[in-house]
Structure 1
Amino acid sequence: MLFEEEKTYHIYNRSNEVVFYNRSNYIYFLKKVNRLIRPYADILAWCLMPNHFHFLIVVNAKGSQRISELHRPQVQQLSKNLGSLLSSYTRAINKEQQRRGKLFAHNTKAKCLNDITQNDNILDNCFHYIHQNPVRSGLCENLLDWEFCSVLDYADKRNGKLVNKQLAYETIHIDTDNFLTQSNILLDERLLKDIF
């Protein structure tokens, strides 16, 4: 993955099996995100699902900085940290669940959303898609019923520290007075293909 400073990315990964078995797994993963990702990117939205995750981020200077490693010369800090996040989480789950092998079946994807000119609302669509994911997947009926999603922070139901709400308000067309109504609007499926 190659990241550019001040660009916005939809980062996601899906597994063919469960990756979060219980509440403590979600919390453990989020603590790792806070330590390994948040210093290198502003998180605008996030959602953890039983078998996958989504993040909408804006990369900062430290995240796009290249570092030298023996086996990967000039790897970027954020890319390295994403790999560390997933590999260390996999090791912990393998130990806890007495399993072996890969946990995430696919490579993590990072789609840059800044360069898509045919979809003016791509950031808005991605932001709301991430928050609607638990409802769209049938895990709950109400956006506020899924604990592991930043929608609770924007709805002022939790004072989470992962998201940069101020940057999101400046970047995305969020109606702070009618956030939940806006968040529940059906998204155009044709436009969603651009976020992947």
Structure 2
Amino acid sequence: MVRVNKCGSEGFAKDITKGIFPNEFSDKDKRQYTTSSETLADGSLNHSIGVMLRSYTNSINNLQRRSGSLFRKKTKAICLNCSKGITPAYCDTEFGTQIYRDVPEKQYPQVCFNYIHQNPVKAGLVRNPEDWEFSSYADYAGLRDGKLVNKEVAKKYVSIRV
């Protein structure tokens, strides 16, 4: 994890959510929030994901004094606001149903934020999102003072109480 944090401080990717699960790897960085007036160079997102996966793998392997890959060879991205499954119009939370206004720049980041934090519960790993120690949920809920997330950046993109 040290390498990812180092990359973030150098501007590669400033994390706003974190989640590590047995069945997937979730990360949300602010570089992915683009509007129609912003574009990423071809392949830059794929390159960024590759760098991030290699950084995680190197860090974990160094800490555990092991070698080899940690992720499946064909790691795939999934679209969280596609019509199959998750809708970007609303999200059920412990505080009730949140209905999103028609602000496209806000919808996708919020959907990702909620998905990452609710995934351990939906996968049956824990009963409550704060019980999953490998997630930034506890940091946002004020139950832990984690250093891997940037709450100020998150406030710009998602509805949270900081």
Alignment of 1:145-184 (within 5 A): 145-174=131-160, 176=161
Q: What RMSD, in angstroms, separates the aligned Cα atoms of the two structures?
A: 3.7
Aligned to 1:82: 52
Unaligned stretches of 5+ residues in structure 1: 1-29, 61-65, 67-73, 178-196
Letter in 1 for 2:70: L
Aligned pairs (5 A) from 1:72-151: 78=48, 81-89=51-59, 91-92=61-62, 95-96=65-66, 101-109=68-76, 119=88, 120=104, 121-151=107-137
Per-residue displacement from partner, 1:132-157 (whole Å, max 9, x unpaired)? 11111111001111111111111011
Cα distance in structure 2, aligned partners of 1:56 and 1:42 = 9
Tell me how far apart the structure 1 counterparts of residues 13 and 154 of structure 2 sit (CA, whole Å).
13
Q: Equivalent of 1:41, from 13, 21, 31?
A: 13
Which deviates more from structure 2 when the two are superposed, residues 31-40 or residues 160-169?
Answer: 31-40
Using a 3 Å threshold, how does the CA distance of structure 1 residues 161 and 129 change in structure 2: closer, same or farther?
same
Deviation string for 1:2-37 (max 9, x for gaps)? Answer: xxxxxxxxxxxxxxxxxxxxxxxxxxxx22321234
User: In structure 2, how many angstroms separate the alpha carbons of the residues matched to 1:162 and 1:90?
Assistant: 16
Distance in 1, matches of 2:113 and 2:130, equals 15
Structure 1 138/48 Cα, relative in aligned 2: closer, same or farther at 3 Å?
A: same
Cα distance in 2 between the residues matched to 1:149 and 1:125: 16
TM-score, length of structure 2 as denominator length: 0.61
Give 1:26-65 correspondences, 5 Å limit: 30-39=1-10, 40-59=12-31
Compared with structure 1, are the counterparts of its residues 44 and 87 closer, same or farther at alpha carbon in structure 2 (3 Å cutoff)?
Answer: closer
From the superposition, tell whether residues 110 and 158 of structure 1 become closer, same or farther in structure 2 (CA, over 3 Å): same
Structure 2: runs of 5+ lacking an equivalent: 33-40, 81-86, 89-103
In the alignment of these two chains, the number of paired residues is 131
Provide the C-alpha distance between the structure 2 equivalents of 1:167 and 1:79, rounded to a whole number of angstroms.
20
Per the normalisation by structure 1, the TM-score is 0.52
- Mapped to 1, the partners of 2:78 and 2:8 lie a distance apart of 16
Describe the SS at the equivalent of 1:59.
Answer: helix
Higher strand share: 1
1:48-83 Cα deviation digits (max 9, x unpaired):
1134320110129xxxxx9xxxxxxx9x98467425
